[in-house]
Amino acid sequence: MLLRHYMSVLFWFRKNTRALERPGTVYCRVTVDKVDYNFATSVRVHKLEWDAQTQKVKGRSDEARISNQQLQQLADGLREAFNILEREGTYITPERVVACYQKPQARTQSLLSVFGLYIKQREELVEAGQLPAASIEADKVRLNLLEKWLAEQGLSEMRPQELRAARVEQFVQWLRAGKRKKNYALKVAQTFKSVLSWCVRQELLDTNPMEGFQFRFDQPELPVFLTPLELVRLWFYKFQSEPLRKVADLFLFQRFTGLAWADLLAFRASEHLAPRPDGSVLLVLDRQKTGSRAMITLLRPAREILANYGGQQLPVPSNQYYNRILKQVAYLVGLDKHLTTHVGRKTAGMILLQDGVSMTIVSRVLGHRSISITEKYYAHVLADTITTEMGRALGMATMGVSGAVARPFLSEFNDYLATGTDGSAADWGIFS
């Protein structure tokens, strides 16, 4: 037995709150199974000209007659759209009724189809060099997640205008039930909001149904980083397996450059290294994730690692393989820390800040789109840096703090490196 739906159409007046002396707007409320959807009609009248009981414009003037004809045609058209959807046997919402009436072609566009169109347009921006390719890959992953969720809910034909806050909350909970973190789930939902805003610009929607959705992200977890001694242990450890040594070297290279895995994969010395008149070498690379430019002086240990692999590029494996081998590396070296490709990058930023490099420079080194992103991830390091720098300038006793001022990380690393237990270490002479 088919489920019966019930629809009603009601017109109501909304005054002009910005200028009370000017005409207000007649709105239409479509209700399907006790769910409402309101939208503005083209009828404009003064408050005294509107009859709320009959839902018509008062009087017998030509203007009143034409306005009432427009409202009647709108009501008839909406009821016909409702009948069409009932005959199709699909599920019905007030938004779908209005879409069927206003834009017959738009009702054939599902949320999944417009998401696909959104990605296609963004691919053109990638080809034009205006958007990083990694953004498209992330969009495709999120589209696959949305497709899977809609299929499980029996909503594969959901229209864009039906993605209300309650649906988004359900999707976020579904992702979290799949052991994905809250912030990741909310980032995916943010993409949906961007898609719906794109639909508005393409005139597929009148308004964005997610416009008022609040994204309440958790504070980012404190990044894991290694001490100078731990880095030296990683540097000197004699791995019996070549893949383990390669992964350890890649991790160290990330530590000295701040490059992400995707940036390591794209790195080519001939394209991204620029010798300077003073003998230093500058690494300049547009980040794969954001397209923002990362810029850092290539430190001597990083140069040594690059030279060990031919001097042009590094043997970068897949991200999954890299992270899996890093777990073995940490175990063998005796590091009781969860190492990932991102830890090397985060360590670079943290150590630079700890050694007194300004937040602005660190943001540039890491290729963040704005300094606010850097501040979000390294706020706790900045607080430590303030204490350390004031302690150096004023003295810990003056500040009422016990203990010595912490040594710069890179100076400490250099000392450990110069006194390596295997006797082969050299003093790079660039950290002090």
How large is the average pLDDT for residues 379-384? 58
Residue 2 counted as domain residue: no
The residues, ordered by sequence, that sit 6+ positions from 101 with a Cβ below 8 Å of its Cβ are: 74, 77, 78, 80, 81
| % the chain with pLDDT above 90 | 34
Amino acid at 216: R
Residue 196 counted as domain residue: yes
Question: Is 404's pLDDT higher than 80?
Answer: no
* One domain, residues 193 and 238: no
Instruction: Please state which of the ranges 65-74, 110-119, 235-244, 341-350 shows the lowest mean pLDDT.
Output: 341-350
* One domain, residues 80 and 115: no
Half-sphere exposure of 370 (CA within 13 A, CB side): 3
At 431, is the pLDDT very low, low, confident or very high (cuts 50, 70, 90)?
Answer: very low
What pLDDT is stored for residue 342 in this prediction?
Answer: 72
What pLDDT is stored for residue 17 in this prediction?
Answer: 80
Instruction: Please state which of the ranges 45-54, 334-343, 412-421 shows the lowest mean pLDDT.
Output: 412-421
How large is the average pLDDT for residues 263-292? 86
At 3, is the pLDDT very low, low, confident or very high (cuts 50, 70, 90)?
Answer: low
* One domain, residues 305 and 197: no
How large is the average pLDDT for residues 351-363? 72
Residue 206 counted as domain residue: no
How large is the average pLDDT for residues 409-431? 51
The CATH code of the domain that includes 336 is 1.10.443.10
Residue 219 counted as domain residue: no
Domain-terminating residue out of 85, 106, 127:
106
Residue 217 counted as domain residue: no
247-259 pLDDT, tens digit per residue, is 999 988 988 888 8
* One domain, residues 115 and 73: no
Amino acid at 309: Y
Range of the domain at 64: 7-106
How large is the average pLDDT for residues 235-264? 89
Residue 120 counted as domain residue: yes
Residue 130 counted as domain residue: yes
Instruction: Please state which of the ranges 11-20, 122-131, 336-345, 402-411 shows the lowest mean pLDDT.
Output: 402-411
At 427, is the pLDDT very low, low, confident or very high (cuts 50, 70, 90)?
Answer: very low
At 101, is the pLDDT very low, low, confident or very high (cuts 50, 70, 90)?
Answer: confident
What pLDDT is stored for residue 270 in this prediction?
Answer: 92
Number of structural domains (the chain) is 3
* One domain, residues 277 and 405: yes
Mean pLDDT of the chain: 81
Mean pLDDT highest for which of 222-236, 265-279, 330-344, 361-375? 265-279
Question: Is 149's pLDDT higher than 90?
Answer: yes
Query: Dihedral (C-alpha) 271, 273, 275, 278: value to the nearest 10 degrees?
Result: 160
* One domain, residues 20 and 119: no
How large is the average pLDDT for residues 268-293? 85
Question: Is 426's pLDDT higher than 60?
Answer: no
Residue 215 counted as domain residue: no
Question: Is 168's pLDDT higher than 80?
Answer: yes
What pLDDT is stored for residue 308 in this prediction?
Answer: 93
How remote is the C-alpha of 106 from its chain's centroid?
28
* One domain, residues 234 and 155: no
* One domain, residues 267 and 407: yes
Question: Is 391's pLDDT higher than 70?
Answer: no
Structural tokens at position 62? 């030509």
Amino acid at 215: F
* One domain, residues 135 and 167: yes
Domain-terminating residue out of 141, 166, 201:
201
Domain-terminating residue out of 49, 79, 106:
106
At 430, is the pLDDT very low, low, confident or very high (cuts 50, 70, 90)?
Answer: very low
CA distances from 382 to 85, 265, 379 (A): 59, 30, 5
* One domain, residues 238 and 371: yes
pTM of the model: 0.53
* One domain, residues 143 and 44: no
* One domain, residues 120 and 83: no
